[in-house]
Structure 1
């Protein structure tokens, strides 16, 4: 392991837009393109993936706002995208007519800007105005501008429109003439993580400098935000103060401007609807002589809670196999999405004088993920939509209402030949004895014969990885006779919050033990061999890949590491890194650096080790995970003579791609890399 306090010779690569660093990146890009993107095989795969992304046969997923369904759409003619809307009745037709609100391609051309869509906040119930977020090249930092949805035009600041320059901002409607705003107000107004530290109320026609301060957090906080619940008869103003990534204090703003703290655990997730307050616990809570378990969903009368009562109903209780994956209200019912050994079960729960009555909502297919979406209790009654897909089953979108019939709205076609390809679920025993699930997707004829296999993982921030259709992996890998593996390692939320909290900070090593145990289990079961086994992950999953390279190199034949965290000595000093100290620990504290140093990939690269070939990718415009991680790791591996390829997208943000063409290129690049490395195609060592 290298000395953590030694001078880093590659710090210059942290200068994101420095021409020397960009020239370094461009030179590496040329090598990668020559090696992996020049063949007819790559060109055909890239074309197929792009056709899939551009086709109008894919589902245009809507976001329901009363009578309107909104959608953001990209295709070959509109690579930057269209923001549009239609009615529910029109959407149900085979070829609905959409009203285009914003053409991002036309806007970018007219304003000579590299605009990438960042989202829209529609003012309700009028839906005559929206706050539009746009980024340059796909960054997290965005410009926010007010849009008139009747005139289909932006409202200039000179005409009283709300407008914010590029920053990591929050802008939320209160009413048509006022908003809550958090942004870069000047020196000292951002947290150490680069997010808003101050929440203000801003009225139309006034300068931002004169906005009324509602709340100020501390520089060490992650972020501060404010919002407004406009439910008729239940209007509430509120403030959130995220003290770290997983803990937040929530306050109600009284009429006189004073703040009233909600007395609930700061690591719990709270929500309210009319009379009900819901609390999902992430750790056990002992209150009023009773202990409620982590992962439980509690309900209570909101006003009685505010008056001091602590009488809760338990709406959901987890067990060893079942966790709460999501929940939301219709007008009269609460919908629960649960995971039973990482497979979806849906329930509808109805509050009544006899308690919370729970019934199954709908049958869900095995080895698939089914989600409830477009709950709009204030304007759409008890209606909802369901979407379901599996590794080999394209997405289906259905419409229903509680107690009503379910009808098919949309069905995506298959984008690869899935005949004979099956999904199986296995469990591997990790180093501490924990059984960790994973899915194997392969052709039935491959059983009993070890073959080229790619395993993917994430393992952090309570992010669950559930079955989902991927046309790109189908075309790029499964169709070619490869096996795909999706892992459900700890750090995610597949078995509730404790699946995550049990491996934070000093216990982080268990995440890597889980993934490596699955790799070994795949070999033991005869599914693959170490030489034929590849691994891929991005962001926190990119850190996972860096650890696999430096700690478990003997288990893999090739690795793809995307938009990664790798230098854990400096991660908290770069971009949004300070916000993740609650996940990994603080490297400035000797007792915490001690366990981080054991796995930090950049500090654990060895010249005398034998590493599998690795492809590291990132984006110049990623302002969440600094591209310096990927750049420096590549330079160090090259210096020590290891086989490493590097590709940096000059735009694209943390997602790595700003449009469908870039997405198709990056997907094709990954599968071509694995094809060459794991199936005997070979590749020229770029360091030779």
Structure 2
């Protein structure tokens, strides 16, 4: 196809889109008309749902759970102690604080405040949302603090002295932007950000990395790497060991959401590593460089092949001498129904959590006498296990353990002494004695078996009468695991209802191939899987279309959109959070262009064809009855543009179809900026679900 023909086609498609879409004006995020529309919609929705007698009770119960003093204060294990970020009714925006392990073991730890975000917001008259801090090893005294105004992904970065508990007077201070920053040393950082015209990708992320010295202005920063405008983004890369020693610096070029190139800065020329594109460098342990593979790979040197989902390692000294010819060895290879859940490193150990048919276990891997040896950590079984903290100073680590009906607990493991203990446990937030958890399989359209979890009342009659919420995600290789959901339990299960989690293709429950089999041209498989689970629930008479609702956010919002447009007859409710919805314009909205690796590109005719086949916005048509969805989004969401949800609601209004729409002005992609907003969102959702699925 010639460039002239391509340009003409693009112009024709754009013109057709404008003609076919009367709601393009809702894409102007802060447009007066769009905001007035959103506020009017909010008033209608709040008036309807907050007047329901259940709303206030749900709100108060949700807020009590969110603000409970006996929540687990999850921590990181740093050289300065145990660090935690905490929010409650007094610290609405939150406080960054720290304590000692000895104090943390007690019922009432003594916390030392490092930074009070509420006080900072008042002093600076800003709607600050804390996004985390990166502290310079090994001392971890100087930190690059990220603050978001209103919950956006775009952040301000400011240097903070954790010992002095104050911002550094002549410190690094970066204006708002979508940016990545890494320490090199106490006076040098690497930054990827908006440097002016022509330095941001089509996805809205930076692709130019520069080096900035203390005292320099941004205009004086020295460029060290430049990717391509068609990339998703580029970010600085600093490879350190547990002592804080740097072994390499460079940049990571994200060609797509799942494909990366690592480029090392050399004394003469940059070196592009010959790793496969679907690989992630995971750190250094015991003189070994760790790499996670998300595709099958045969290294260019050697005759050993590695399967997708494996972990491999290189001898660090050999790799540093010649990173292009070093030979890797296997650390972990997944079995047929296994997947790597997560990983972390301590001073001497690699930690892996491994999923086995959507159940997880934790292992420590030690490199000794030329081989990796795995030792299981004896945590509770039949539960979800997640690594929450790992120490660079020692071989100490922490894990969260929970299941649908078992509250979360926090476990501490010292591999040096093999001491395992429960540090914290969440009290039950709902009565789980009346429910049971079952795992079933549905058969998708192409015959693939799709597992799902059902949490139902023990007394449920198999007559289709049980109100049921079906939740799914099915994208970006993210797994959905059994976990304790306090709000869902209190506001839904305790009312005698059922809850379902579907493990769809496109997710990460069974590794990279489970994801990659439902991408791009085959993304319809994710939607087929979800529909198959709904049909299976109805066939088993667990529920019925009158009592079945669907729920999901972001990619899950797109999932719900496809479900209610492809099979509206199966559902009577749909909670659609911060959704993708217009798949013919998603690349033009916020960070949408970064997800073409998952969905495809509507600018390419062949790919537009498969996107058009399921795009929910275009599939909202006259002559169909939709299950009055509840659409929630946020004005400040600079990841998934609020226009997706806005336009879906406007199209439903045009069709004369009932719906609910709520747009939180703050909150970013979470659609809530603090615990009060979280509680309001939960109360609205469960009030809506109760009205649609429980009421006669």
Q: TM-score, normalised by structure 2?
A: 0.94
Structure 1 residue 651: deviation in Å? Answer: 0.7
| 2-structure distance, mates of 1:213, 1:66 | 33
| 2-structure distance, mates of 1:229, 1:498 | 28
| 1-structure distance, mates of 2:686, 2:161 | 44
Hey, what does 2:94 align to over in structure 1? 81
Matched, 1:347 2:363: yes
CA contact (8 A) 1:622 1:656 kept: yes
Hey, what does 2:292 align to over in structure 1? 280
| 2-structure distance, mates of 1:124, 1:350 | 23
Which string of whole-angstrom CA distances, capped at 9 and with x for unpartnered residues, describes residues 383-437 of structure 1? 1112101111111011111251211211111111112212111111111111111
| 1-structure distance, mates of 2:346, 2:192 | 30
Structure 1 residue 354: deviation in Å? Answer: 5.5
Matched, 1:44 2:60: no
Q: Superposed, which structure 2 residues align to 1:376-415 within 5 Å?
A: 376-377=391-392, 379=393, 381-402=394-415, 403-415=417-429
CA contact (8 A) 1:214 1:257 kept: no
Hey, what does 1:197 align to over in structure 2? 207
Matched, 1:585 2:585: no
| 2-structure distance, mates of 1:152, 1:350 | 37
| 1-structure distance, mates of 2:124, 2:239 | 35
Aligned mate of 2:431, from 402, 417, 426: 417
CA contact (8 A) 2:362 2:377 kept: yes
Hey, what does 2:498 align to over in structure 1? 483
| 2-structure distance, mates of 1:187, 1:234 | 33
Q: Which deviates more, 454-463 or 286-295? A: 286-295
SS of 1:415's equivalent in the other structure is: coil
CA contact (8 A) 2:361 2:381 kept: no
Q: Which deviates more, 527-536 or 266-275? A: 266-275
Which string of whole-angstrom CA distances, capped at 9 and with x for unpartnered residues, describes residues 180-233 of structure 1? 111111111211111111111111011111111110111111111113234345
Hey, what does 1:665 align to over in structure 2? 680
Which string of whole-angstrom CA distances, capped at 9 and with x for unpartnered residues, describes residues 617-637 of structure 1? 100000000001111111111
Hey, what does 1:14 align to over in structure 2? 27
| 1-structure distance, mates of 2:209, 2:406 | 45
Matched, 1:263 2:274: yes
CA contact (8 A) 1:3 1:603 kept: no
CA contact (8 A) 2:403 2:482 kept: yes
CA contact (8 A) 1:286 1:292 kept: yes
Hey, what does 1:227 align to over in structure 2? 237
SS of 2:560's equivalent in the other structure is: helix
| 2-structure distance, mates of 1:573, 1:599 | 18
Aligned mate of 1:440, from 454, 465, 471: 454
CA contact (8 A) 1:60 1:73 kept: yes
Aligned mate of 1:649, from 643, 664, 676: 664
| 2-structure distance, mates of 1:4, 1:613 | 26
Hey, what does 1:685 align to over in structure 2? none
Structure 1 residue 297: deviation in Å? Answer: 1.6
Matched, 1:173 2:183: yes
Hey, what does 2:128 align to over in structure 1? 115
Hey, what does 1:209 align to over in structure 2? 219
Which string of whole-angstrom CA distances, capped at 9 and with x for unpartnered residues, describes residues 332-357 of structure 1? 22222111110012222222226222
Superposed CA RMSD in Å reads 1.7
CA contact (8 A) 1:346 1:364 kept: no
| 1-structure distance, mates of 2:379, 2:673 | 37
Which string of whole-angstrom CA distances, capped at 9 and with x for unpartnered residues, describes residues 558-584 of structure 1? 111110111111100111001001110
SS of 1:469's equivalent in the other structure is: coil
Structure 1: 4+ residue segments shifted above 4 A: 2-5
Aligned mate of 1:634, from 641, 644, 649: 649
Q: Which runs of 5+ in 2 are unaligned?
A: 1-14
SS of 1:227's equivalent in the other structure is: strand
CA contact (8 A) 1:344 1:364 kept: no
CA contact (8 A) 2:239 2:283 kept: no
Which string of whole-angstrom CA distances, capped at 9 and with x for unpartnered residues, describes residues 517-551 of structure 1? 00000011111001100000010111111111111
Aligned mate of 2:586, from 562, 571, 593: 571
Matched, 1:602 2:617: yes
